[in-house]
Amino acid sequence: MKAATPVAAGPPPRDLVTIATHLPQRKERPDLRAEAAASAKLTSKLASDPSSALPCVLEIAHELCHAGTAGFSLLRPDRADGTTVRWELVHGSLASYQGIDATRTKSPCGLCLDAGTTILVSRPTRVFAWLEGTHPPIIETLIVPLLDDTGCAHGTLWIAHHEPDARCTYDDARIVEQLAQQMMLALRLQEHARDRERAFIVLQSLQVAQRALLSHDVEQERIRRVRAEAAARESARALLFKEAMANEVNHRTKNTLQAASALLTMQAKATSSAEARRALLDGHARLQLLAEVHSLLCIEPNDTQSVFMPRLLQAVCDALARSFGQTCPGVRLEVSCDPISLSADDAIAIALLSNEVVTNAYKHAFADQSSGEISVQLHCSAGQALVLRISDTGTGTGANPMNSKHGMGLKLMRLLSAQVGGVLDVASPATGGGTTVTLKLDRATTFDRVAEPVVRPAPAAGTAA
């Protein structure tokens, strides 16, 4: 497609450009679940095929921001006009204009790069007349600069609205800015892949030339030695790249979990409904538990696909003991676990179920008692059966809302047990006096080199773990 011929009529009007921090908040709450699912999808793309991540970013921006168009513009040197801005990828209503060029100094993207921050341009055709030819017309466009670690500009990521009543918000700016970081990572990964491909071609050419020049056995042996050394260096570089990529993904996953957790806490503080506040705080606690499992997966020395269960259960119970230590100072929480390792899926399900049961015991089992005991046990029985047993010495079924058919805690427990294919049982003596929750799984477990089960009480209130 030929380059457009932009025309700018002096400096932009004052009401043309808005800095992103001045944008209004959305009236509706942000869809954190949709953002988390989109982040997971994009992370998978980055890890498996960085070239597919760029169109994925545009699809996510188009969907989460309810935009008419999402685009990626790239700076390209031009000997005649200086630097041009090309609509490299376009998704949505203006997809047919993909590949169009405009001079940087006469483009909305140039305004954004000159400002060095996210901007909102309202009715850009007032200054950039060449945009009048686009259909549908652009009512307003939100533009985010793509900057590397040194502050060098590579282009912009933008969304556009075409409906008169559609407007960008502060949440849109936050989402697009986060996606811009992911897009810069994808661009870097693509560049690394091209560098490796060029290096491989050069290495192949060198090998062909050497094979043509060398004929006797001594030279052939020397060539084999050189190839082996080059392969070892390449393997070392590939390993370093893989480790760097894993660290980057883990870092971004950690940031996503922390951001979602902080948003739940902020929303809980802002709501006036006690029931909604409790639900948000419960969600915050479960998200913190997922973050704990993710942290343990990252620090496992040899097997990043399994979790050492004594460490995980002890961490969960330590956090619960500190959380409820002020309200239940006389309740003792003890953990007993065989030295086994489970897959991440099983470990997460068992940790979430333990969190629900122990939290319920703290809240409801000791309402009329000043002291008591909660026991969490995870052991292997005969026939490779894995048994999780959580019991308390509290008031029993009479005061335990977990026995309600409509209780959220029991619904979540049943969902988790079905997820891992286990058998769940909730029992309490007819006369009261404690509740026992048992989960049985048929699992082939991996034992650590520890002779005895790990038994340790959770810390008392006010003490460090």
In a domain, 199, yes or no: no
Cα separations in angstroms, 371 against 325, 331, 355: 12, 5, 20
- Is 65:175 a contact under the CB 8 Å cutoff? yes
Tell me the pLDDT band of 462, cut-offs 50, 70 and 90. Answer: very low
Shared-domain flag, residues 23 and 168 = yes
Which whole number is the average pLDDT over 13-29? 65
Among the three residues 188, 223, 250, which one is the final residue of a domain in this structure?
188
Among the three residues 258, 285, 304, which one is the final residue of a domain in this structure?
304
At residue 202, the pLDDT reads 80
How far is the C-alpha of 25 from the C-alpha of 245, rounded, in Å? 34
Shared-domain flag, residues 107 and 181 = yes
At residue 240, the pLDDT reads 78
In a domain, 462, yes or no: no
Shared-domain flag, residues 220 and 101 = no
At residue 80, the pLDDT reads 60
Pairing mode, strands 153-161 and 331-337: unpaired
Shared-domain flag, residues 340 and 452 = yes
In a domain, 196, yes or no: no
At residue 190, the pLDDT reads 82
29-38, 179-188, 292-301 — which one is most confidently predicted on average?
Answer: 179-188
161-203 pLDDT, tens digit each:
999 888 888 889 999 999 999 888 888 888 887 788 788 888 8
CATH label of the domain that carries residue 357 = 3.30.565.10
Mean pLDDT for the chain overall: 79
Among the residue ranges 145-159, 180-194, 242-256, 317-331, the one predicted with the least confidence is 242-256
At residue 399, the pLDDT reads 45
Give CA angle at 153 (150, 158), nearest 5°. Answer: 130
| Sheet architecture: strand order including 331-337 | 423-427, 435-442, 385-392, 372-380, 331-337, 454-457
Shared-domain flag, residues 366 and 432 = yes
CATH label of the domain that carries residue 33 = 3.30.450.40
In a domain, 5, yes or no: no
In a domain, 132, yes or no: yes
More confident residue, 202 or 311: 311
In a domain, 208, yes or no: no
Q: What length is written for the chain?
A: 465
Shared-domain flag, residues 177 and 220 = no
Counting residues of the chain whose pLDDT is more than 70, the rounded percentage is 74
Shared-domain flag, residues 358 and 260 = no
Shared-domain flag, residues 174 and 246 = no
Which whole number is the average pLDDT over 269-283? 74
In a domain, 295, yes or no: yes
Shared-domain flag, residues 431 and 446 = yes
More confident residue, 407 or 346: 346
Among the three residues 154, 188, 222, which one is the final residue of a domain in this structure?
188
Tell me the pLDDT band of 1, cut-offs 50, 70 and 90. Answer: very low
Shared-domain flag, residues 292 and 327 = no
What burial class does residue 203 get, using C-beta atoms within 10 Å of its C-beta: 0-12 exposed, 13-18 middle, 19+ buried?
middle
How far is the C-alpha of 159 from the C-alpha of 139, rounded, in Å? 11
**Segments forming the whole domain that contains residue 372:** 306-457
CB within 8 A of 216, min separation 6: which ones?
A: none
Shared-domain flag, residues 324 and 448 = yes
322-344 pLDDT, tens digit each:
878 777 888 999 999 999 888 88
Angle between helices 53-64 and 170-213 (to 10 degrees): 170
At residue 81, the pLDDT reads 58
How far is the C-alpha of 360 from the C-alpha of 402, rounded, in Å? 7
Tell me the pLDDT band of 20, cut-offs 50, 70 and 90. Answer: low
Which whole number is the average pLDDT over 448-459? 50
In a domain, 452, yes or no: yes
How many domains would you assign to the chain?
Answer: 3
Shared-domain flag, residues 336 and 264 = no
